[in-house]
Amino acid sequence: QSALTQPASVSGSPGQSITISCTGTSSDVGGYNYVSWYQQHPGKAPKLMIYEVSNRPSGVSNRFSGSKSGNTASLTISGLQAEDEADYHCSSYTSNSFVVFGGGTKLTVL
């Protein structure tokens, strides 16, 4: 099972916007609108931030948004804040096996 492809790291300054990509295939990201995004601070469990490509669970800041084009999904964080520094993981339903995760992206707030 091949993991979804994410950049290893991204960075941005406070107040800026950043985008993290998550690339898959037509069997997962491209074929279904079941992409989720998770935020993970060091030593903590992942927290669901986005589901179904662009939906935010209750309590998640509207600074977090999601989108998809073809086989690539994206997470955008606007108005970057220090507490946004964390690892971000994408996942998708896959017709090959059920669920697949990306390799994770480390976000650094400069």
Partner 1 sequence: QLQLQESGPGLVKPSETLSLTCTVSGGSISISSYYWGWIRQPPGKGLEWIGCIYYSGSTYYNPSLKSRVTISVDTSKNQFSLKLRSVTAADTAVYYCARLDYSTYPFDYWGQGTLVTVSS
Enumerate binding residues for partner 1 (CB under 8 A): 1, 3, 6, 34, 36, 38, 44-48, 51-52, 55, 57, 89, 91-93, 96-104
What single letter denotes the amino acid at residue 75? L
- Euclidean distance between CA atoms 20 and 97, whole angstroms: 24
In the bound state with partner 1, the residue whose beta carbon lies nearer, of 14 and 31, is: 31
Both tokens of 5, joined, read 């492809």
In the bound state with partner 1, the residue whose beta carbon lies nearer, of 38 and 74, is: 38
In the bound state with partner 1, the residue whose beta carbon lies nearer, of 42 and 62, is: 42
Q: Is 83 helix (H, G, I), strand (E, B) or coil?
A: helix
Which residue do the tokens 């690339």 mark?
A: 23
